[in-house]
Amino acid sequence: MDRSSSTRIKILPPEVANKIAAGEVVERPASVVKELVENSIDADANEITIILNQGGKDLIQVVDDGVGMNAEDLKLAFQRHATSKIQQAADLEGITTLGFRGEALASIASVSRIEARSIERGQISGTLLILEGGRLMEEKPTGGPPGTSIAVKTLFFNTPARRKFLRADSTEYRHCLTTANRFALAYPEKSFTLVHHGEVIWEVRSQPLKERICEILGRRLEKLLIEVNEDAGAVQIEGYVGTQDTVRRQSGEQFLFLNGRYIYDRSLHHAIVSAYGEILAHGGYPLYVLHLSIDPTRVDVNVHPTKMEVKFADDRLIYSLVRGAIKRALASAKVIPDLQAPGSSFPDQPAATWLKSNWQSSSGPASQPAVDSGGSARQGTPIQPVDLYAPPESTQGQQPLPFQEEKSPETEPVPFTPAGGESAPTMNTQANVWQLHNRYILTQIDSGLIIIDQHVAHERILYEKALRLFEEARPSTQKILFPRMIELSAEDYDILQEILPFLEKLGFMIQDFGKHTVVVEGIPAGTRIKNYTTLLQEMIDDYRRGKRNNLEIRDNIARSYACHTAIRSGDPLNIHEMNALIEQLFKTETPYFCPHGRPVLVNISLEELDKRFGRT
């Protein structure tokens, strides 16, 4: 090659450069929908119509009532790097518009035929342009209402290889619909219409976000949305997360918006999902529609060709703020699976507080000594340990549950009497608590009735207690009178070694006896364990299973322990046991779901009962 005659490196002609850029921005019809609607929103449009034919392969037209463009600007708009949104590099530091690269229209135009028409606000006439492959073919005046309409016809007509790669119309249509849905959910204050093959798919007018969600994603969600609204300083979080009933095996109803832009952020998705805790123990995707507002100078949106991924300056902080906000929202009473009458709502207080105060005001005074199976004071008042199974003296006539053989001094039962204050009234334990079929506990609260599943409730209590015990220095153990020798398989023995430090924290005393044999000498204080061998075996099996599912070790053991040592469905409980159970339940952090995600309680309001009896 003759190097002197010409350079090897050449600047590409604009048509080629645009086509290459189009490869990044325009992947399929849905990408065109995204770019055009973004432009309409940046142009301050309030009404946006999206018209599609053949899944957008044939036609994608976006009509808006935005500020419009004059003839010069309309022509410039199709030039590469032509933008009205930023002027200098420094502007990139705090982008407040959806577009800023001045690339989208040039890229789209380079791979399609375009009919663009725009009339500036306040004018009655404007310009119509016809472009083909990015080249201006025709320009003429036009009239009509102000705004802009960009019609993109036969996408990829001049890049046959890419046109061939488009999927079936129905698939492309689905992608367009997803994109359109995102805008509708991102801007509930704007009106949108989506039309496919002349049929109006949906048409939405300015409305509150909750209503918008129901219109776009379905009326079934009406009762399943929990509001999130927190100003956490670095980030404002607004929107809705779904209850357990919105959890799906597949993703698709997760919408996260940052400063009005739909984003996909794996870490924030994780923050949201992890806030559900064990409700999602078995995986799945809860619905969410969340709007985050963050100072634009703390976010870089210029890291991905379609701007779908962003970079946060304070990513860890944002992660924990989002997670915290969702957790708090979920802890609100609305998460309780209930039989509420349509339209009735829970109070705004955090659920645990609400339930507690409601319950106490019906069945006993709020100054009742706090009862806690774990013995750790978490709510300011000194909490004494109490054995759920140990009936106070006054109930000796009743049938106590069979329980531990021997007690260590720390686990002496504390009778249910007030903590010494003279004015403290006694608890009205006779009233308002019933056991149904030795399985459910019914209790009256101010607003109606709560039904508690005794097994899952106890499971929840023990689970949280176990997690606390892991953090404590001194386990509380009750020695057993007749130590039990257990022979394990080599594999089980191995697993036992792995979990032994945790079992000891819980209060188990297990000695190695050699040859895969161990001796159980003590068990957690205050528990009732019928068969140590079975319990150990079950916990080993659960641990193995949980490990396969990547459960965190403590969580894994705590769940298993709670599940196998909780009172059973079928165990009769006396009134004191029931009261203790309820007290302890309301002290847990998440009283509504057991560690496996099953509901602990159901709330039926008076309103609902009245309705059923035809009183309203």
Q: Which residues are near ligand ATP by CB under 6 A?
A: 35, 39-40, 42-43, 64, 66-69, 77, 82-85, 99-106, 148
Three-state secondary structure call for residue 197: coil
Q: Closest CB to ligand ATP belongs to which residue?
A: 99
Nearest to ligand ATP of 112, 148 (CB atom): 148
Gyration radius of the chain's alpha carbons: 32
Tell me the closest approach of the beta carbon of residue 86 to Mg ion, in angstroms: 11
Q: Which does 69 bind (CB under 5 to 8 A by kind): Mg ion, ligand ATP, none?
A: ligand ATP
Nearest to ligand ATP of 102, 418 (CB atom): 102
Tell me the closest approach of the beta carbon of residue 258 to ligand ATP, in angstroms: 16
Measured CA to CA, the distance from residue 84 to residue 45 in angstroms comes to 16
Specify the long-range contacts of residues 584-588, CB closer than 8 Å, at least 24 apart.
584/371, 584/372, 584/373, 584/388, 584/461, 585/452, 585/457, 585/460, 585/461, 586/352, 586/355, 586/356, 586/359, 587/370, 587/371, 587/372, 587/378, 587/379, 588/352, 588/460, 588/461, 588/464
Q: Rule CB under 5 A: which of 36-75 touch Mg ion?
A: 39
Q: Which residues 6+ apart lie within 8 Å of 549 measured at CB?
A: none
Measured CA to CA, the distance from residue 152 to residue 33 in angstroms comes to 10
Tell me the closest approach of the beta carbon of residue 499 to ligand ATP, in angstroms: 54
Three-state secondary structure call for residue 286: coil
Measured CA to CA, the distance from residue 152 to residue 614 in angstroms comes to 58
Q: Which does 95 bind (CB under 5 to 8 A by kind): Mg ion, ligand ATP, none?
A: none
Q: How far apart are the first and last CA of the chain?
A: 93
Q: Which residues 6+ apart lie within 8 Å of 507 measured at CB?
A: 469, 475, 476, 477, 478, 522, 523, 524, 525, 527
Tell me the closest approach of the beta carbon of residue 25 to ligand ATP, in angstroms: 7
Q: Does 83 bind Mg ion (CB under 5 A)?
A: no
Tell me the closest approach of the beta carbon of residue 189 to ligand ATP, in angstroms: 18
Stretch that binds Mg ion, among 44-52, 103-111, 176-184, 543-551 (CB under 5 A): 103-111
Tell me the closest approach of the beta carbon of residue 250 to ligand ATP, in angstroms: 31
Nearest to ligand ATP of 302, 349 (CB atom): 302
Measured CA to CA, the distance from residue 367 to residue 426 in angstroms comes to 9
Residue listed under structure tokens 């050449």: 10
Alpha carbon distances (Å) from 256 to 98, 219, 249:
15, 20, 19
Q: Which of 86, 95, 104, 509 binds Mg ion (CB under 5 A)?
A: 104
Stretch that binds Mg ion, among 104-112, 128-136, 260-268, 496-504 (CB under 5 A): 104-112
Q: Does 99 bind Mg ion (CB under 5 A)?
A: yes
Q: Which does 126 bind (CB under 5 to 8 A by kind): Mg ion, ligand ATP, none?
A: none
Tell me the closest approach of the beta carbon of residue 194 to Mg ion, in angstroms: 20
Tell me the closest approach of the beta carbon of residue 48 to ligand ATP, in angstroms: 9
Q: Which does 82 bind (CB under 5 to 8 A by kind): Mg ion, ligand ATP, none?
A: ligand ATP
Q: Residues 2-41: x/- map of binding to Mg ion (CB under 5 A)?
A: -------------------------------------x--
Which strand (E) or helix (H) includes residue 358?
helix 351-363
Q: Site for Mg ion (CB under 5 A): how many residues?
A: 3
Residues that bind Mg ion (CB under 5 A): 39, 99, 104
